[in-house]
């Protein structure tokens, strides 16, 4: 057989889905699995979106324009305006989720082993997007003990090399729940100014900021308008991951022109789905504001539950709908498998996302897990109790086998 490309071997299996076979086996045995590993919202897709799907004014599903349907671009522009973010429709390209936007952007701003700075732990698919674009992600490692904040601008400056092309920032962060402070955002902006860099801002969780904290889009840095590329999506904020509609937006005409060529190469984004998101984008602010309150209640349940586990000092997630935490265990992959294969309470088991898959640096995150808040607070309470009992049982088992 001919060999596959070298690039193929660089794509990692998603750590979020890796435990799926064990979860499937547990379910086949009649166990109820509580999935804390995946950020797929459990709440209904807004009725106006479902109504738009039923009432689509179409007799033929033709290709949409590569840049997106005019009404979808208008709707994204209106949605941005509702958050005081200024992008005209022709500065927006509709993409197949934020995922497609990110693969295009990385390939446009870098390549050939160029470097892009990223805070780790990071959204795990950044690693695959970068591998596809032949981009080297240079991690700035954040620590749970610092609440996953980087603090000083020197952390960024220390990573700059002649090959650095961009900073990729996810704010609020998946997987840590970090909402970067005004000073941290200014530090990112300043390093971009000093070093002639682009800033790729993944703001798919923009409005999910807890405890009354301020929502700060990176577009606030008007002097950097030509360097900023925003990535957005309907997936999370409208409980609509399966719709596969996102966008990229920038004031940089050269980037838009090149990105349009990428868009043309894939022809178009599904016509029906683009029309389906128009009404909700036009009235999107209220919808995501309501969701944020619900995620905050869930965050509180997870935080309280984790704090009650011996040896766990949870980090208070500030936004998105995730938290990362360290467990008093050497290998969270093993405890995650134990939780699915061996340990259940009253027929319930828990599926976690082991932390190591969220790091660019090998060997980091082995004692961390990411938890997504995709159930109501009562179920999350129960899940945290199961997790606590499992950590105790797993440690006890280790003590027995090693003594
Ligand atoms: C930070 C982040 N960016 C991008 C994506 C991809 O979003 P989409 O469903 O729009 O492709 C996700 C999905 O989980 C994410 O968490």
Q: Whose CA is nearest to atom 16 of ligand 1?
A: 174
Distance of CA 231 to the CA centre of its chain: 11
CA dist., res. 15 & res. 353, Å (int): 7
Q: What is the pLDDT along the chain (403 residues), one digit of tens a residue?
A: 999 988 888 887 776 777 899 999 999 999 999 999 999 999 999 999 999 999 999 999 999 999 999 999 999 999 999 999 999 999 999 999 999 999 999 999 999 989 999 999 999 999 999 999 999 999 999 999 999 999 899 999 999 999 999 999 999 999 999 999 999 999 999 999 999 999 999 999 999 999 999 999 999 999 999 999 999 999 999 999 999 999 999 999 999 999 999 999 999 999 999 999 999 999 888 888 889 999 999 999 999 999 999 999 999 999 999 999 999 999 999 999 999 999 999 999 999 999 999 999 999 999 999 999 999 999 999 999 999 999 999 987 766 655 4
Cα(213) to centroid(ligand 1), Å: 22
List, chain by chain if needed, residues with CB within 6 Å of any ligand 1 atom: 39, 97-99, 123, 170, 174, 202, 204, 233, 235, 241, 246
8 Å CB contact between 235 and 97: yes
Q: Are strands 353-354 and 368-372 parallel, antiparallel or unpaired?
A: antiparallel
Beta-bridged to residue 228, according to DSSP, are 199
CA dist., res. 387 & res. 384, Å (int): 5
Cα(66) to centroid(ligand 1), Å: 21
Q: Which of 168, 235, 281 to mutate to test the pocket of ligand 1 (most atoms within 8 A of CB)?
A: 235
Q: Whose CA is nearest to atom 4 of ligand 1?
A: 98
Nearest atom, ligand 1, residue 100 CA? 11
CA dist., res. 108 & res. 94, Å (int): 16
CA dist., res. 338 & res. 119, Å (int): 30
**Whole-number Cα distances in Å, 137 to 65, 67, 168, 203, 397:** 32, 28, 9, 19, 38
Beta-bridged to residue 232, according to DSSP, are 247
Q: What are the residues whose beta carbons fall under 8 Å from the beta carbon of 261, sequence distance 6 or more?
A: none
Strands (E), 136-227: 136-141, 164-170, 198-202
Give the global pTM: 0.96
Nearest atom, ligand 1, residue 234 CA? 10
């Amino acid at each position: 057989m001919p060999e596959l490309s070298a690039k193929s071997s660089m794509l990692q299996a998603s750590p979020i889905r890796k435990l799926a076979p064990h979860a499937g086996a547990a379910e086949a045995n009649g166990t109820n699995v509580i999935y804390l590993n995946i950020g797929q919202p459990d709440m209904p897709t807004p009725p106006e979106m479902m109504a738009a799907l039923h009432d689509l004014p179409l007799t033929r599903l033709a290709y949409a324009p590569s840049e997106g349907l005019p009404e979808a671009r208008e709707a994204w522009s209106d949605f941005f305006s509702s958050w005081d973010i200024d992008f005209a429709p022709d500065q927006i390209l509709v993409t197949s989720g934020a995922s497609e936007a990110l693969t295009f952007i990385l390939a446009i701003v870098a390549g050939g082993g160029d470097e892009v700075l990223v805070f780790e732990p990071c959204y795990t698919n950044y690693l695959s997007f970068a591998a596809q674009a032949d981009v080297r992600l240079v991690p700035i490692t954040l620590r749970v003990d610092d609440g996953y904040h980087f603090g000083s601008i020197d952390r960024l400056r220390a990573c700059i090399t002649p090959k650095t092309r961009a900073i990729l920032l996810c704010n609020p962060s998946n997987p840590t729940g970090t909402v970067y402070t005004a000073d941290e955002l200014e530090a990112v902006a300043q390093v971009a100014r000093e070093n002639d860099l682009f800033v790729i801002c993944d703001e798919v969780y923009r409005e999910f900021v807890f405890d009354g904290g301020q929502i700060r889009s990176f577009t606030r840095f008007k002097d950097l308008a030509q360097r900023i590329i925003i990535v957005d999506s309907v997936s999370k904020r409208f409980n609509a991951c399966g719709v596969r509609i996102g966008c990229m937006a920038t004031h940089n005409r050269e980037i838009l022109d090149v990105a349009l060529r990428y868009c043309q190469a894939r022809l178009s984004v599904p016509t029906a789905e683009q029309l389906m998101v128009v009404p909700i984008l036009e009235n999107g602010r209220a919808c995501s504001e309501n969701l944020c309150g619900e995620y905050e209640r869930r965050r509180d349940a997870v935080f309280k539950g984790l704090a009650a586990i011996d040896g766990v000092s949870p980090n208070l997630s500030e936004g998105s709908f995730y938290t990362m935490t360290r467990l008093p265990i050497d290998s969270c992959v093993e405890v995650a498998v134990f939780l699915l294969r061996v340990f259940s309470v009253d027929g319930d088991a828990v599926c976690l996302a082991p932390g190591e898959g969220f790091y660019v640096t090998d060997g980091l995150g082995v004692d961390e897990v990411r938890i997504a808040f995709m159930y109501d607070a009562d179920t999350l309470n129960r899940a945290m109790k199961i997790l606590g009992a499992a950590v105790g049982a797993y440690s006890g088992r280790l003590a027995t086998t090693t003594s």
